[in-house]
Structure 1
Amino acid sequence: MKLSISKSVAATGALLSGSVHVARADNPIIQTLYSTDPAPYVWNNTVWLFTGHDQGGSSNYDMRDWRLFSSTDMVNWRDWGQMLSLKSFSWAKADAWAAQVIERDGKFFYYVTVTKNGGGYAVGIATSDKITGPYKDALGKQLLSNNGIDPTVFIDDADGQAYMYWGHNSAYYVKLNRDMLSYSGSMVSTSVSNFIEGPWLHKRNSTWYLTYSSMGGGNEDIKYATSTKPTGPWTSKGTIMPSQGKSFTNHVGIIDYKGGSYFFYHNGALPGGGTYSRSVCVEKFNYNSDGTIPKITMTDAGAPQIEPLNPYQQVEAETIAFSSGLTTAATSDGSGIYVTSISNGDYIKVKGVDFGSAGASSVDLRVAAASGGGKIEIRVGSQTGTVIATCTIDATGGAQTWKTVSFPVTGATGKQDVFFKFSGSGYNFDWWQFKQSTTAA
């Protein structure tokens, strides 16, 4: 996931600033922070995307917490905020590196990599009764440590046996016990061609796939191997994603969701991005007829939208296909996430919003402003597209004093990309909801 290298990479504290107006698609899929090491997980008809977090603006890896996002359409991603931090593990010293979450028997298990007190890498586990947390250190100590990193866990649907792979220059596995907090037998070293780090274990039909970061062209590429057994032996199948993307490292996660196959990775594509300021992306792909994985190239386009977004339900403001300038934060009472650090020219794009033939007559916004405020123009089609609502944001009495305000809407029909374009500053944005017209547009 992160090898020590001496290469210096320029970075900036800002991501997409409000002054940047780019006509682009939706990779990287997170723009409010630098995200790394994607670990997608399908549960309850939703893709839950667990990531690491580069602080950015550093000449080395600076990673202090782990984050969660979710989507049901593969383009609009909701930010759930921080799930864990280094402070969650009393025995951890630094380096909130790659992690993965899996559910078993109604409990969620969060396998993480850290540098432990006294030095050396170790794997720990946090647990929760809900996928969105809160997660707590389950052991109060490391599960194991052989200076390896990047745990990946998979439960075999054939017999219920869980396996964990991890490694740093060499790949290892253990058989996890039913409690998912301990393992049977010894750590086993297994031969995987050109393995560096970042393993991802999954099964399709009767074939096991071990995908991982290797070396190619000076930066990491993504290779894979297959086996008829979860413990190998592993047969090398070559490179999936060649070295590219302004980042020394890469890290893979693969899922099937609603009839499609998806390949998650990270690169340095955001402004200020690079080796120490990375961002998660996704591509849709099809397995070859023989079960092999085709070559996959990084794109700006990302995955296609697989279903429209319903604007007549409450939508969190931090549900974003693409954004510029702004960030997100947790509410003071810890009840949720909201959009903040809003400045002139910032925007949020929400993709494929289906207003239907009747269209919308009004929109409710949940906002807060200590003083001052500004204006939110809601446009369709683009940042400079047709204005369907103009929403004036006045002071509510505090930055966490939330008020629901309503504004008329005209011209919102059919399926549209919706842009919330901001002016002014000093206000926060929690959620939005359109109301459907009772008469045809």
Structure 2
Amino acid sequence: MTLKSKTNCFLFALIIVFSGCTKTPKQAQKSGNPVFEGWYADPEGIVFGDEFWIYPTYSDDYEKQVFFDAFSSKDLVNWKKHSKVLDTTIISWANQAMWAPSVVEKDGKYYFFFGANDLQRKGSVYFDENNAINQTGGIGIAVADSPGGPYKDYLGKPLIDDFHNDAQPIDQFVYRDTDNQFYMFYGGWGKCNLVKLNDDFTGFIPWEDSTIYKDITPENYVEGPVVFQRAGKYYFMWSEGGWTNGTYKVAYGMADKITGPFQRIGTILESDENVATGAGHNSVMQIPGTDNWLIVYHRRPIPNEDRDHRVTCIDKLEFNDDGTIKPVKMTFEGVSLEN
């Protein structure tokens, strides 16, 4: 071998060595959006122990919405499906239109709040006297020993089965405050009530003025309330527009007290013609031990001509220095524990 050949071999070896040393670090795998297959809407995201859980509405015609699936993950990337953790065969008064779960843990039990039957007020344009689901229904509760069920009926009847302050009894969100008092925000058709749940969730604790249902409806509210607390402030989010089309979006307000008042600050999640339309009915999760927050929501893929073709997605929820929320950037990549 000539000196020139030896030199060339040496240089080639150096290139191989240094190319290995400068290799780009492997990026963390992300969830992708949607985070799991299937048509699912109104996702409730919550952390139980070291697991992330999502409880969505099965998105289909009302008469096919007779069950709830759940999904769990330890890393936000790989999701396990728990099929039919609750269905209408368990709830005697529920026939269909099972919507928008909210699940909380208390004293080792898991309480699954849900809406069913699309109760309507007599005389309204949406009331059909020949449609049984318009005449009975409301917000119910099921209970289980683990987040994935099996759940059984807790009350044997709806917790709320009538309109109060003109709020349709749907879209309940249950929140445990820092003093361990549980509150429930709920309401459709442009009205939102706040109630204080009693200790065993069988009823309510009156407010100081002896009323039960406190009207806290913010500007432009339609449905889908959710509340969380950060840095001493309460954040109240809700959905606006029409759930059947691209006008659906999420707005929010902030307050020093859980009772508000919550003044509308602005829209933080809405349609993006490059990603998806009809983004809304969200929930919020905090990655334990961090100040990293996630927004869990549904959206409509593009193109989409089906009212019920909605999928569940997760993206970052970020804040400005003054605590206000930055507009959410919808992605196809999704999130990871490293966010």
Same-fold status (TM-score > 0.5): yes
Match of 1:253 in 2: 283
2:50 aligned partner, one-letter code: N
Where does residue 194 of structure 2 map in the other structure? Answer: 173
2:164 paired with 1:164: no
Q: Is structure 2 residue 65 aligned with structure 1 residue 35?
A: no
Q: Could you tell me whether the CA contact under 8 Å between 2:250 and 2:270 is conserved in 1? A: yes
The Cα offsets for residues 241-281 of structure 1, whole Å up to 9 and x where unpaired, read as 02346554621010101322100111122887743121100
CA distance in 2, matches of 1:287, 1:272: 31
SS at match of 2:293: strand
The partner residue of 1:191 within 217, 229, 232 is 217
Instruction: Give distance in 2, aligned partners of 1:226 and 1:104.
Output: 27
Contact 2:293 2:316 in 1 (8 A): yes
Q: TM-score scaled to structure 2, two decimals?
A: 0.76
Q: Percent identity?
A: 30
Correspondence 1:192-271 to 2 at 5 A: 192-215=218-241, 219-244=247-272, 248=278, 250-258=280-288, 259=290, 260-269=292-301
Instruction: Label 1:270 to 1:110 Cα distance change in 2 as closer, same or farther (>3 A).
Output: farther
Give 1 or 2: higher strand fraction: 1
Q: Tell me the distance in 2 between the aligned counterparts of 1:196 and 1:171.
A: 8
2-structure distance, mates of 1:238, 1:61: 35
User: Are the equivalent residues in 1 in contact too, given 2:31–2:335 (CA < 8 A)?
Assistant: no
* In 1: Cα distance, 2:269 partner to 2:82 partner: 29
The structure 1 segments of at least 4 consecutive aligned residues displaced by more than 4 Å after TM superposition are 244-249, 270-274
**Out of 272, 279, 296, which is 2:328 matched to?**
296
SS state at 1:88 partner: coil
Greater per-residue helix proportion: 2
For 1:26 and 1:49, the matched residues in 2 are separated by 15
209-218 vs 94-103, which deviates more? 209-218
**2:239–2:248: 8 Å Cα contact kept in structure 1?**
yes
Q: Which amino acid aligns with 2:139?
A: V
Q: Which runs of 5+ in 2 are unaligned?
A: 1-29, 120-131, 207-211
Note the 1:355-394 alignment, pairs <5 A.
Answer: none
Q: Which residue of the partner structure matches residue 17 of structure 2?
A: none
* Among 18, 41, 45, the residue aligned to 2:50: 45
- Residue 123 (1) aligns with residue 107 (2): no
Distance 1:271 1:138, change over 3 A: farther
Residue 87 of structure 1, CA deviation: 2.5
Maintained 8 Å contact 2:279/2:300: no
* Corresponding residue for residue 345 of structure 1: none
Preserved CA contact (<8 Å) 2:101 2:114: yes
SS at match of 1:203: strand
CA deviations 1:66-117 (Å, max 9, x no partner) are 1111112111111122211122211112201111100011111100011165
Partner Cα distance (2:94, 2:305) in 1 = 27
SS of corresponding position for 2:89 = helix
Change (3 A) 1:95 1:207: same
Return the index of the structure with the highest Cα Rg: 2
- CA distance in structure 2 between the partners assigned to 1:256 and 1:280 by the alignment: 17
* Maintained 8 Å contact 2:172/2:185: yes
Question: What secondary structure is seen at the aligned counterpart in 1 of 2:248?
Answer: strand
Within-5 A mapping of 1:61-76: 62-76=64-78
**TM-score for both structures, normalised by structure 1:** 0.59
CA contact (8 A) 2:31 2:336 kept: no
The amino acid that maps onto 2:183 is: Y
Task: Give the C-alpha shift of residue 118 in structure 1.
Answer: 5.4
Provide the C-alpha distance between the structure 2 equivalents of 1:62 and 1:299, rounded to a whole number of angstroms.
Answer: 30
For 2:226, give the aligned amino acid: W
Give distance in 2, aligned partners of 1:248 and 1:261: 22
Counterpart position of 2:148: 132
Match of 2:127 in 1: none
Q: Could you say if the C-alpha distance between residues 141 and 270 of structure 1 is closer, same or farther in structure 2, counting changes exceeding 3 Å?
A: farther
What whole-Å deviation, never above 9, does each CA across 1:159-196 have from its counterpart, x for those lacking one? 22111001111110100011123212211211311100
Structure 1 residue 62: Cα displacement: 4.2
Q: What are the superposed Cα offsets for residues 94-148 of structure 1, whole Å, 9 maximum, x if unpaired?
A: 2011111000111111000111655255100001111111111100000003223
Q: Distance in 1 between matches of 2:215 and 2:75?
A: 39
Alpha-carbon distance change, 118 to 27 in structure 1, aligned in 2, over 3 angstroms: closer
Query: How far, CA to CA, are the matches of 2:63 and 2:46 in structure 1?
Result: 25
Rounded to whole Å, the distance in 1 between the matches of 2:332 and 2:246 is 22
Separation of aligned partners in 2, 1:172 and 1:97? 18
